[in-house]
Amino acid sequence: MTFPYGLIGLGNMGVPIAENLTKNDIGLIVYDIDDPSNRAPEKAHVAATPADVWRQAETVFLCLPKGDNCKSALQSLLECNDRVTSTVIELSTIGMPMAQEIDAMLKPINVNYFDSPMSGGVAGAKAATLTLMCAGSKDLLEEHRAALEAISGNIFHLGNEPGKGQAMKLINNFMAATGLAVTSEAMAYGVDQGMDLKTMLDVVNVSTGANVASQDKFPKRVLTETYDANFHTALLSKDVGLFHEGLKAAGLKGQLAPLIDALWKDADQAMPGSDMTEIYKLMQKKLKS
Ligand code: NAD
């Protein structure tokens, strides 16, 4: 049996993405290294191995944590002689050099690689309002527009070669990670000085210090003490690290990137398995260390 689409990686983002694809009657086969039978959408077919996906899906989305996971999943595509897959759409955040490396790896077997990292978090994935930062041929974008629109509210085309989508995604996440860290330190200082967290957020959010952390993450995830943005500190640390590496690979020197990179690496090490919003608790501790 052949499916128009496959999806490898059914984690926090992959599950709602798969649900939105199947809700739009897009035939889908899914695979995850950690058996996804209990979380895959009812209408999706679950594959037992990645090779089963390559043998049955014409276009395959990757939604995996890191570039190395993508490369290891794609290794079996290189070895699959009876593949029907002709296009791979990269939803994962893996950085520009890795996207270029994977593009070069797939070219000799005539598989198209389309860069399409996403922003919007789990809430955006559930609401099908993700922002997609695409780089690859415009023809491929048009060919897959219906599937991309089933998961996204904003589709941008940033270049004809895979990689620029990744660069754009890391620019965004570097800004988001910096905003969350700065807001955490500022709020931790205010609370230490006896001020009320909610009142401070109310002030900032009608003043010039407002950002996505103060308007969204803090009121919904920190003030509530739920710390449930569903974006792992490890993933944000990876993204800031990739941004920093990208600067260095381009022979550029960022002033903030080394500091923000070190801070998020430290957070990941100090709080394994944590949600990114838990950096607020770390910044409170760090004020007194
Ligand atoms: P996640 O850790 O929740 O899920 C990743 C899934 O991949 C897991 O189910 C894991 O078992 C599976 N996996 C790992 N290696 C595999 C392999 N070799 N083969 C098959 N399955 C494998 O991650 P996530 O939050 O869903 O994020 C996925 C990607 O999307 C990441 O690159 C992340 O940076 C990016 N992203 C995440 C968010 C977010 O809010 N979570 C937002 C935007 C972008």
Per-residue pLDDT at 130: 98
Q: Return the closest-CA partner of residue 152 out of 122, 177, 118.
A: 118
* Residues paired with 207 in a beta bridge: none
Strands 112-115 and 45-46: unpaired
The answer as to CATH 3.40.50.1950 being correct for domain 3-162 is no
Which backbone phi and psi does 163 adopt, to 5 degrees?
130, -45
Q: Is the CB of 14 under 6 A from ligand 1?
A: yes
| Nearest-angstrom CA–CA distance, 173 and 238 | 10
pLDDT (0 to 100) of residue 212 = 96
The stretch 155-177 carries a mean pLDDT of 97
Nearest Cα residue to 113 out of 182, 163, 169: 163
Cβ–ligand 1 distance for 9 under 6 Å, the answer: yes
For residue 91, what pLDDT band results from cuts at 50, 70 and 90?
very high
In DSSP terms, 130 is beta-bridged to: 152
Please report the DSSP string for 232-246 in residue order: BHHHHHHHHHHHHHH
> For residue 113, what are the β-bridge partners?
88
pLDDT at 123: 92
Q: Which of 235, 268, 274 to mutate to test the pocket of ligand 1 (most atoms within 8 A of CB)?
A: 235
* Contacting residues for 220 by C-beta, under 8 A, at least 6 apart: 226
Q: What is the DSSP string of 200-217?
A: HHHHHTTSTT--HIIIII
Task: Give the pLDDT confidence of 64-83 residue by residue, as tens digits.
Answer: 999 999 999 999 999 999 99
Look at strands 118-119 and 130-135 and give their pairing.
antiparallel
Return the structure tokens found at 281. 């608790």
Instruction: Name the average pLDDT for the chain.
Output: 97
The owner of tokens 């077919």 is 45
Residue ranges matching CATH 3.40.50.720 in the chain: 3-162
Q: Percentage of the chain surpassing pLDDT 90? A: 98
Q: Which residues pair with 157 in a beta bridge?
A: 134
- Residue 15 CA to ligand 1 centre (angstroms): 10
In tens, the pLDDT along 233-288 reads: 999 999 999 999 999 999 999 999 999 999 999 999 999 999 999 999 999 999 99
> Is any atom of ligand 1 closer than 6 Å to the C-beta of 125?
no
Integer angstrom CA distances of residue 247 from 94, 171, 178, 233, 238: 15, 10, 16, 21, 14
At residue 178, the pLDDT reads 98
Alpha-carbon span 143 to 124, nearest angstrom: 23
> In ligand 1, which atom is closest to the CA atom of 93?
32
Task: Report CA(12)–ligand 1 centroid distance (Å).
Answer: 7
Confidence of residue 137 (pLDDT cuts 50, 70, 90): very high
Å from CA of 36 to ligand 1 middle: 13
32 lines ligand 1 (CB under 6 A): yes
Mutation probe of ligand 1 site: the residue of 63, 115, 238 with most atoms within 8 A of C-beta? 63
* Cα distance between residue 168 and residue 122, in whole Å: 19
Domain covering 166-287, topology:
N-(1-d-carboxylethyl)-l-norvaline Dehydrogenase; domain 2 (1.10.1040)
CA–centroid distance, 59 to ligand 1, in Å, is 18
Domain with CATH 1.10.1040.10 in the chain: 166-287
Report whether residue 19 contacts ligand 1, using a CB cutoff of 6 Å: no
Average the pLDDT over 206-218 and give the result: 98
